[in-house]
Structure 1
Amino acid sequence: MTTTAASLDVETIRKDFPILSRLVHGDKPLVYLDNAATSQKPRQVLDAIVDYYEKHNANVHRGIHTLAEEATALYEGARDKVAEFIGAPSRDEVIFTKNSSEAMNLIARVLGEAGPGYRIGPGDEIVITEMEHHSNIVPWHMLAERTGATVKWFQITDDGRLDLSTLDSVITERTKIVSMVHVSNLLGTINPVEKVVKRAREVGALVLVDASQSAPHMPLDVAALGADFVAFTGHKMLGPTGIGVLWGRLPLLQELPPFLGGGEMIEVVTMERSTFAQPPHKFEAGTPPIAEAVGLGAAVDYLTAVGMDRIAAHEHELTTYVLDALSAVDGVRIIGPATAEDRVAEVSFTYAGIHPHDVGQVLDEQGIAVRVGHHCARPAVVRYGIPATTRASFYLYNTTAEADALVKGLAQVKKVFG
């Protein structure tokens, strides 16, 4: 579908998403505000997956029959679409994984096994931030335990921004990699990646960016971003589950060792030794997520047709509206930046005297789907001295009317628990 007006025709967009028309709890219209966890899928993506299975299903790359050639073309075509979507200089820099967690684990694993130039070992330092998702914390803890390296981090300010006043002391000559989130899944903060990249370059450190919450919501140009690796996942950007992307600079991917061994990632195998294929296939052992890649390609087509600039503008307006609406609710404390500047429409909050799980349950009874808990970002939640939050996260198909429904729902929460 294509829209032509300056602003999004959200009502037309919503018609592409079958699930948005369903009722829950009998007669309650679904208000889906859990997009930071996973997005809904347009019919165009669902149709692409069904079409693949009905007409083209086969394994990829080595077959010479018609179905194998068609499946390969669809799979590699999806790689081309993703490469163009993120501004990758080469399609060979796009590696399909099962999600962003696997993408970041891949880099953490191979850096512990790399050659002398990139290997992380005793005395080396790994830098992360206090606002990371667990998938960008745990792999580095595991690497540090295996290798004797040290994990350091940037702290968060009271208003939900990265504290970069310690930039020069956190990133030092000992730093081998900085791995940081582009947009916080808890706070909604858009981080100044370019400042961190500049400092990392001064000391010769690599940079990995977790773009799981930015790729769906704003234009992403990996070349302009300046990082060495970028990870994101398909299911948060209208695609299916089970497919993620790792982008890496081609010379680095060529030099780093494989992640997993098996079929497809090899060059030659003898009984004595194995040699490995060039990227991206070196990092895609075994049968890949073919149907999922096809679905992701269709999602990229959809987002491109709508326009990422326009999606970002729509969500910026929603962010301002939601922050203002929630700030007016007595007892609500927003966790994260209080304004829409350098922020996306993912708003975590507490409600005085009411546990987030109770908030989420009463909202669900009204058809409003939000996420409760620490959102796999426990260190950030602990930093704010709270056990958990309620998070309402918006996307291109959400409206100000749904933000109003959230506020109205909170009034009902107050009635029940106030």
Structure 2
Amino acid sequence: MEIVILVVVIALVVVLAAGGLVVGSRRRKQQLPPSAPPSIRKTTAPPAEPHVGDEAAPPREEARRTIEEVPLPGATLAPEALEEVEVPAAPPVEQPEPTAGRLIRLRSRLSRSQNTLGKGLLTLLSRERLDDATWEEVEDTLITADVGVTPTQELVERLRTRVRVLGTRTPAELRGLLREELLTLVDPSLDRVLRTESHEESPAVVLVVGVNGTGKTTTTGKLARVLVADGRSVVLGAADTFRAAAADQLQTWGERVGARTVRGPEGGDPASIAFDAVKEGIAEGADTVLIDTAGRLHTKTGLMDELGKVKRVVEKHGPVDEVLLVLDATTGQNGLVQARVFAEVVDITGIVLTKLDGTAKGGIVIAVQRELGVPVKLVGLGEGADDLAPFEPEAFVDALIGE
């Protein structure tokens, strides 16, 4: 019995001793010293904590900088470099080319009209036999070119008489006769002077009117260039408040030649803006005030009445010197209808024909003058800034019939 008890006690002691060895081994594995061989270190051990006190790493040697050498937040250049940076200058004000002889320089733009009127007529008149059928073709050519029925009949009758009486047959003689007759219809005796010189106490006032799509605002801007080229100082009035960006467009034209633009809120009262533009022109001592009015459809009576109101309000400052009607040369007879309605509302003093370079109907010059008894004073012969030219009858006719 005692032997059995002794064996059990010895077994318990052995078991307890073995358990102590296992626990000690596990503790040693968890607390390995830093010098333990790499083969038994954990590769995923967290980084050591930063040293403090006596164990802190010595500071790195760096060159010390003064406060002037430390760049300010957002600064990319040294003060000396900033002083050398050049601020871009404002774009220079353009100096438009002189208007004298501009139509002659642009005569090539009339090539399409020349093919229809001048060359077409000279080809017909140079035929071996000028019978009734040929003269009818001459009439058709003139009417197709928008010369108008009555002026066409007058021209053909005079040509037939002169050819028959004079016996003219050579191309040079026929060209001379045709030039004389066309020049008579264009009527060089009409007063085509633009009245843009200031009065003693107020500037000259020019109203620019017309329907939508004729290039009215662009024409106003180009007219400002014409006046500046001729030595006038100009103020622009953006009274077209119903078309989006019309005022911006006009202001851009003005800035290019140094002309101030008076404008108001979109949808504002056009008469009020026109009034303020003239007032500004008086204050600045300007020579001319150009007022761009809204493009009014001639079928809307209310809008046409408003145009009359603009003119009456402006006249409180002084007289309106010019009322220029802008017509699209490509619209033909419809342009004449527009002209008649505008003439009933305001006294038209001159016609501006745009897009004359893009039409084969140069005869509209003759027709519109005959219809209104008002001269064509300016013609647009392209999309360039200086493609608006004072109308010169002789240069126009010469361009139509060619050399």
- Calculate the TM-score normalised by the size of structure 2: 0.33
Rg larger in 1 or in 2? 2
Between structures 1 and 2, the one with greater strand share: 1
Higher helix share: 2
